[in-house]
């Protein structure tokens, strides 16, 4: 499974997971993706086959529903809750790295157009 970390997540998370053998890209580390509107980012992630990891639940839930209504598949959404993975906490980013590593090692879901809460 390939992931794309949304801009709010530290690019070092992708670096750490890539060093462990996973294929994880980071919006924050890619100048061509930084600041990309949500709809375009969702499209890009789907075209390149990357599930999007984001805490932007409102916007991406809406996009996923719109795509479903149009009969379009996306590559997956992994929602992270800002209370569980608070970026100002001492546990971050280690707790998100651990959660994503566990998710990648034993994906609880597959196929197209899925949504998972980490």
Bridge partners (DSSP) of residue 2 are 23
**Helix, strand, coil shares of the chain as percentages rounded to 5?**
35, 15, 45
88-110 tens-digit pLDDT: 999 999 999 999 999 999 998 88
Tens of pLDDT, residues 10-23:
999 999 999 999 99
Domains of the chain (ranges; CATH) run 2-117 (3.40.50)
Q: The whole model's pTM is what? A: 0.95
Token representation of residue 80 = 């992270």
Q: Count Cβ atoms below 10 Å from residue 108 Cβ, excluding itself.
A: 9
């Amino acid at each position: 499974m390939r992931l794309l970390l949304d801009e709010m997540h530290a690019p070092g998370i992708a670096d750490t997971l890539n060093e462990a053998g996973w294929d994880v890209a980071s919006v924050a580390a890619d100048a061509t993706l930084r600041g990309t509107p949500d709809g375009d980012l969702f499209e890009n992630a789907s075209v390149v086959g990357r599930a999007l990891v984001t805490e932007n639940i409102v916007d991406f839930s809406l996009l996923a529903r719109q795509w479903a209504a149009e009969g379009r598949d996306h590559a997956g959404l992994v929602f992270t809750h800002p209370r569980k993975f608070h970026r100002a906490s001492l546990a971050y980013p280690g707790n998100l790295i651990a959660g994503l590593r566990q998710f990648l090692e034993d994906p609880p879901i597959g196929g197209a157009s899925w949504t998972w809460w980490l």
